[in-house]
Structures are given as structure tokens and as C-alpha cells.
Structure 1
Amino acid sequence: MKNSFSKAVFSFKTKFVNRKLEDLHRETAANLQDDNLSDLNLKKRQTLVSHAIKNSAFYKNKYQEIGITKGGVLSEDDFLKLKPLTRTELRENFDSIRTDDVSKSIHRKASTSGSTGFPVSVLHDCRHPETPIRWRILDWWGVEPWENQAFIYRYKRPFFKRLRNSLLWWPTQRIFLAAADLNTKKLDKFIHDFNKIKPTLLQGYVDVVFEFALYLLDNDIKIHPPKMVWVTSAPLFEEQRELMEKAFGAPVCDQYGNTEILLIAAECPQQNGLHIMQDTVHIEFVDKDNRPVPPNITGKILLTDLTNFAFPLIRYEIGDEGKYLDYRCKCGRPLRLMENVRGRQTVNIKTPSGLLIRGAHLMAMFDGHMKVFKEIQLRQEADFSVCIDYVPRMSNQDAKDAAEKMAELLKKRSRFEIKVGYRQIERIERTTTKTPLIVSHLE
């Protein structure tokens, strides 16, 4: 009965109070019925580029020398001529990238945490919120937006923001666990509230959701199983997924997104890769010359936000690597698949000779050793040496043995150019809300 009431209130709000959101929801649903998403995607890129050249001083200047005029791009080949937008350009040209035809009321500023390098800021276009895409993904997993939900993040929301959120979503209940300084009292209260409202969704950063899962497993605590667990903001080890699914009694959905472009791709229940949201974002996998690589070949990721006309991001070189998959998902959805992204690539382990050991390679090397840790982080110092900081889960000896094996694997991978040690600590130190796998102090 309560769920029916929540649904009725939600439907009223979206149809009469926030009609624009309802219209966008219908539009995104209709997009998946389009016979050719690739054509729709290209049309949106053509419109975006034309708008950027006309209204953004940065893009007008950037594309002038290659002869792209206000008419924009006409074909895929034209689009490939556009020079990628680098993170340095984004950081140094914030004011000139944003368009001159938008007011402050239709955009909001967002900044990266700086966990993988220097922070950057963008403007999100409020005319095109990510909510309809979020609802799309939830629908894949059988979660309705009016059902109760639970969230775990590092930060604590201000009181008035929490109050506003409660009023906005009433009568749907949403609970939040601020994991910045977790303790038993906080965890037990969250568990009590969780079992009381029985949320169908649990969402949060990978590392803190994993920490919560370990608390449940290590203390033999059962919770009401949600329909899905949605993890974000960090690479997901398969061993972490396995333990989380055991703790929560629910499948774990991995996604790819970032501060700059929130929802890029996500898993469906088939878990055969990530479905790319082709109607709202264009993703490319390219070689060192920024030319497309074939499916199943790893390349640099370039991102184009098809919905942000306030602050265009066109062929944005975010610093990640990934690849298209050469098959379609059994679920039948028309969206292309990409491989799960194994970590931000702007921070790597480096050797004196210039060899780079990327986060994706480290995840592959360390696969099979993660179950014994609560937290882990690699810290590279100015002399190129690396220390593996770890927090053991249960057995100190098992964690020490695993860390020793991981150190040896990293030494071999670095061709023995760097010293690799390890140490047990009580908790990973954080300077941001995220926990990067690699922290580098190299200049």
C-alpha cells in the first residue's frame, strides 16, 4: 500500500510539478526505439559542434585553423579532424570554454576531487539533468525511482541539503551513511535504518560500499537484500564484487562516469560489459594519433557530452583507457558495449627509464589477492620507490603474505628498476572523498 502511495505521489510530481523531467524521461525512452542510434548520435554531435563554434570563444579559436566553420561538422571524418580537448586546456580555459548564451540559472559548477592529478572544474547544463538516464539504468535492474534507497559516501551532506532532499522525495525514504569517519555506532544505526525502510537500491563509492560489506560479513550481520547495489567512482575488483554480492544478497552494478560527465555507461543484469549511453554521450577509443582503434583493442578514451550546451566537452581526453566490445548484449538493448574501465590512467607507476605501469595492469596483477584487505593503496615517492599501504581485513599474516607477493609482482613488472615495499597501517589517509589506487609524489 505504501509503495502504491509513493508511486502515485512520484507520478504527480513528475507530470505536474516537474513536467520537463517527465518529457526528458519520455525522450530518453524513445531514443532506445530509434532504428539507428549512430545516426542520432552524429546529429547531436553536429548540433553541439555548431553551437560551440558560435557561442564558445575557446572552440571558435581552436577549430578555426582546421577550417571548421559555424556550419560545424558534416560527417564522421569531419569530427575526427577536431583536436581533442586536454585536461590542461580545460583547467586553463574555463571562462572561454563556457558559452556566452546561457545564464547562471541554467548551469551549476562541479569540480573533480584531484585524486588523480590537478583538479578541474566544469559547468553542468541544468536543462539536461542525468536523472532520466539514471532512471533508465534503475529500470534495467527492476528498481523504481519512487522506491526507498540507501547511499554511502565519504562526505556528510549539510543539514539543509538533507532536509531539502527529504522534502523533494517524500514519501520515498532515502538514508545516507557518511563514511568519512566510520565507527560501530554509525554502522549499526545505518543497518537499523536500512532494515527498517528496506531500500531496493544501495549506491555509493566502491571502497566505502566494500568496507560496509566487509563489516557485515566479518560480524555475521544480515540485512534486507536490495534489488541491486550500484558502485561508482573507482575501479571494481571482481573479488570485491564477489564479497559485496555475498554480503548484500544482491547483484552489483558497475558503471563508468566521472565528475565531468556523470553517466557514461553501465552494466545491465547480464553483466557482459557496460552499455554506452549513445544518445547522451559519444565515446571514442583512439590511438596515439587520436584515430579510432578497432573493437577489442585498448585505446585512449575521448568523451563528448551531447547534452551540455552551457560548457561543451568535445573529444575530451579524460586520461582513461578502454575498448569497445565486438558483440551485442543478450539483453537485446541497442546500446553498444564497452569493457569495464579499470581505473583512471592519469596516475601511473613510473620507473627511472620511463616505463609506465598503468592502473589497469596493476588490477590484473593483483587479481586474486584482494580478499584479505579492507583497503589498499600504492604510494610512489620522489625517488621512484613504491610502498604498498594496506589495512588487513582479518588475518594479519594472510594480508602480509599477499602484500609481499604483490610487491614481488610489481618489482618484476618494473624490470626491477624500482624498490617496492609494503606496510600495514590502521587506515588509508585521504585528502579527498575518493581513495585512488595510486598516489604519486613524482614531479
Structure 2
Amino acid sequence: MTKEDFLKLPHLTRSELSENFEDIKADNISKADYRKACTSGSTGKPITILHDLRHPETPIRWRILDFWGIEPWENQAFIYRYKRPLKKRIKNHLLWWPTKRIFLAAANFDTQKLNRFINDFNRIKPSLLQGYVDVVFEFALYLLDNNIKINPPKVVWVTSAPLFEEQRLLMEKAFGAPVCDQYGNTEIMLIAAECPEQNGLHIMEDTVHIEFVDKDNQPVPPNTTGKILLTDLTNHAFPLIRYEIGDEGKYLDYFCKCGRPLRLMDNVRGRQSVNIETPSGLRIRGEHLMIMFDKYIAAFKEIQLLQQPDYTVCIQYVPRTSDKEARDAVEEMVHLLKKRSRLEIEVTCKKVNRIKRTTTKTPLIVSHLEHD
């Protein structure tokens, strides 16, 4: 197949994937060769896909760890949203023995749980700390606000949400280690990741083909933002070809100084499927909001923009610093968003104790707008 032939293939949307699960699933595969996985539903209705167990993600994970000088047998620490089932924890312990791996369930942070994790962390001295951006950031703030020092890992690996640069700086200060931004999702786990040069994300080109395209699904030039289409090169149980995941990104027009031949993409800053919208049709992308709000993020433990069907937006926030400092920051964000929306929408703010979660992730934007 030529490149021109490939570009003629129709793209696959999330709704088409959901509605045609049985047609996409391979007919000639044993149940022992795949496992089901479901998306979190943070950008809509959860969808189910299959992972091909004959092509595990582990070698790619080891490649990324090798970027940072971490061997697979070194001790590791993880922060997840919810506690893993006992059976899964026992299996994981036996699988990786004698390597030590500790886990923090962050659904309900409490001082006792945090201090126990910190003690375990300093005892085993893990080379890696990995978790969702928001929960790792919350843990970092706890360390900073309580002046707690931990044994620095070699790297902090964050994923599952866009990373504010202010978050990166605070995490690096808290952990005494560099932060690796990684792009992946439930459908295709490990797509791209930073190396220590941090000049963009190295694309795992031997396992995934990524395209950046315009509204007609045609390639855009390097350094130009486009919709992301993904083709999984190893999942023969549930082949995804030109799958529109809902994110935006761009190729970079240079190779990394580290010398690795893997092409680079820019860090993903937001989902093109979730924007702030106005009645006239103006769309304010998550990428732009991240740039606008970056310098204010340090004032909050958590923050989320909630848009209602009448287009009004409420910025809900959990203060990290003093109430006045957080209020001043969020009011400036309200002003910036009103200005960016050309005063078409009403924007308010609300202090809350916790951001309500319906999934394992905490998206920056939650939209309740109804689209045709």
C-alpha cells in the first residue's frame, strides 16, 4: 500500500468504534490472547476495546525507562486513583519479586495514608515514581506545603492528562527529580514519551503510526497543530486504523539531540473534542487555556472548568495557598476567559472542597453542551 492509498482510508471515530465493536474484533483470535479494557469516559461515554496480549506494552515501557537510565528490576512507586484489588496486588508482588513496588491509592488522600507511603518510599528508595498528572501533582503539593523531603527518584513519569509547565516545575522541586511527560491512552497505551533532553516526545514508531491532519483528514506540515489519528501496528486482536482519538498535536521538524532516531511530537496540551464554546460558535481550545492559565496553577490543588448547556462556565477550584491568593488568581482567570470569549459567555468561580470525579481522571474541561 502506498502513502496515497493509506490516506484514502476513512478515519475511525470514537462513536464508530463503540457501535462496531464486534466488526472490529478479530474473528480468529483465542480468548487467551486478549483482554478487555474500557476508557475512563472523561470525554464522553466509555468505550470498550481489546488489547492483544501477544504484543505486550512492557518492551516499550522498558525502552522509555532506559531513556532515563532505569533498569526494569529497580524499585518503583506508583500513585493510582483507586486501590487495586487484593488478587491483583498479590499477583503483581509475585510477578516482580524481589523488586519492591509500592502503591498509593489517591481516591481519598489522608495524612496517615500519605505518611505511610512516604515512609515506604524512603525505605525502598524507588528509581521511578509514576502516576496520573493530577494525583502526582497533589502529592507533590503535600510534600512542599509540609516541608517533607523524600529520597529523589531518577525520574517522575506522569501521564493521562496534559501537563502544565508550572506543575512540572513544582513537581521537580518537590521530588528533586526531572519529570517525564508521556502520551498514551487506554486504546493505545504507550505512544510517545520524553527523554532527558525534554525537546518533545519521542514517538514509538515501531508500534504506532501517528498522523496530524486537518479537518479533511489530510496531513498538516510539521510544527502545525492538527487532529491526531492513530494506527496501532501490533494489535491484531482489535485493529485500530486511522483512529481519531480526540486529541490535537503536531510533529516537530527536528530530531532530538540525544541521537535517537525516533521522530518527535510536541507535548499534547489538550483535546480537540473538549473546548469552551460560545453561542456564536467560537471555540477556545484546551491548549490555549493551558497557556493562558499556566502561571496561576500553583495557587490551586485542583481546578476544573465546568460549562453548562446555557454556555455559562464555572471555574471550580480547591485552594492550595491562602484563600485570598487563590481567589485573586481565579478572578484573573475569569477575566482572561471572558476576554478570550469576547464577552459572549458568563464566567464565574466557586471554591470547593474537592473536584467531583466521575472517572479515574480529572479533566481540565467538562462540557455539558449538547451538539447535534
Counterpart of 1:389 in structure 2 is 316
**Alpha-carbon shift at residue 305 of structure 1 (Å):** 0.4
Counterpart of 1:167 in structure 2 is 94
Q: Does 1:370 align with 2:305?
A: no
CA distance in 1, matches of 2:78, 2:318: 24
Counterpart of 1:203 in structure 2 is 130
Query: 1:117·1:346 contact (CA, 8 Å) conserved in 2?
Result: no
Query: 1:117·1:347 contact (CA, 8 Å) conserved in 2?
Result: no
| 3-state SS of 1:378 partner | strand
CA distance in 2, matches of 1:88, 1:231: 28
Counterpart of 1:339 in structure 2 is 266
**Alpha-carbon shift at residue 345 of structure 1 (Å):** 2.4
Counterpart of 1:242 in structure 2 is 169
Q: Does 1:380 align with 2:283?
A: no
Which of 224, 238, 243 aligns to 1:316? It is 243
Q: Name structure 1 gaps, 5 residues minimum.
A: 1-73
Counterpart of 2:285 in structure 1 is 358
CA distance in 2, matches of 1:153, 1:359: 24
CA distance in 2, matches of 1:361, 1:268: 25
Instruction: Please tell me the root mean square deviation across aligned C-alpha atoms, in Å.
Output: 0.6
CA distance in 1, matches of 2:346, 2:323: 23
Counterpart of 2:72 in structure 1 is 145
Q: Which amino acid aligns with 1:140?
A: F
Counterpart of 1:215 in structure 2 is 142
Q: Deviations over 1:396-417 (max 9, x none)?
A: 1111011001011111111111
Counterpart of 2:59 in structure 1 is 132
Between structure 1 and structure 2, the one with the greater Rg is 1
Number of aligned residue pairs: 370
CA distance in 2, matches of 1:164, 1:325: 41
Q: Does 1:325 align with 2:252?
A: yes
| 3-state SS of 1:244 partner | helix
Counterpart of 1:300 in structure 2 is 227
CA distance in 2, matches of 1:281, 1:302: 10
Q: Which amino acid aligns with 1:96?
A: D
Which of 175, 180, 183 aligns to 1:253? It is 180
Where does structure 1 differ by over 2 angstroms across 4 or more consecutive aligned residues? none
Counterpart of 1:83 in structure 2 is 10
Counterpart of 1:283 in structure 2 is 210
Q: Which amino acid aligns with 1:231?
A: V
Q: Which amino acid aligns with 1:95?
A: E
**Alpha-carbon shift at residue 296 of structure 1 (Å):** 0.4
| 3-state SS of 1:410 partner | helix
Q: Deviations over 1:322-378 (max 9, x none)?
A: 100011100000000000001222211111111111111110111211111110000
Normalised by the length of structure 1, the TM-score is 0.83
CA distance in 2, matches of 1:365, 1:273: 20
Query: 2:227·2:272 contact (CA, 8 Å) conserved in 1?
Result: no
CA distance in 1, matches of 2:338, 2:37: 38
Q: Which amino acid aligns with 1:334?
A: P
Query: 1:229·1:250 contact (CA, 8 Å) conserved in 2?
Result: yes
CA distance in 2, matches of 1:193, 1:140: 26
CA distance in 1, matches of 2:143, 2:244: 39
Which of 66, 76, 81 aligns to 1:154? It is 81
CA distance in 1, matches of 2:328, 2:43: 28
Q: Which amino acid aligns with 1:184?
A: T
Counterpart of 2:153 in structure 1 is 226
CA distance in 2, matches of 1:367, 1:157: 33
Q: Which amino acid aligns with 2:210?
A: I
CA distance in 2, matches of 1:160, 1:280: 30
Q: Deviations over 1:262-300 (max 9, x none)?
A: 000000000000000010000000111111010001111
CA distance in 2, matches of 1:201, 1:190: 14
Q: Which amino acid aligns with 2:350?
A: R
Normalised by the length of structure 2, the TM-score is 0.99
Q: Which amino acid aligns with 2:332?
A: K
Which of 312, 330, 340 aligns to 1:413? It is 340
CA distance in 1, matches of 2:230, 2:274: 19
| 3-state SS of 1:367 partner | helix
Question: Between Structure 1 and Structure 2, which shows a larger proportion of strand residues?
Answer: 2
Counterpart of 1:46 in structure 2 is none
Q: Which amino acid aligns with 1:266?
A: A
Q: Which amino acid aligns with 2:266?
A: E
Counterpart of 1:96 in structure 2 is 23
CA distance in 2, matches of 1:131, 1:212: 26
**Alpha-carbon shift at residue 418 of structure 1 (Å):** 0.3
Q: Which amino acid aligns with 2:208?
A: V
Which of 398, 402, 412 aligns to 2:325? It is 398
Q: Does 1:429 align with 2:356?
A: yes
| 3-state SS of 1:320 partner | strand
Q: Deviations over 1:93-125 (max 9, x none)?
A: 001101111111101111111111121111000
Q: Which amino acid aligns with 1:426?
A: N
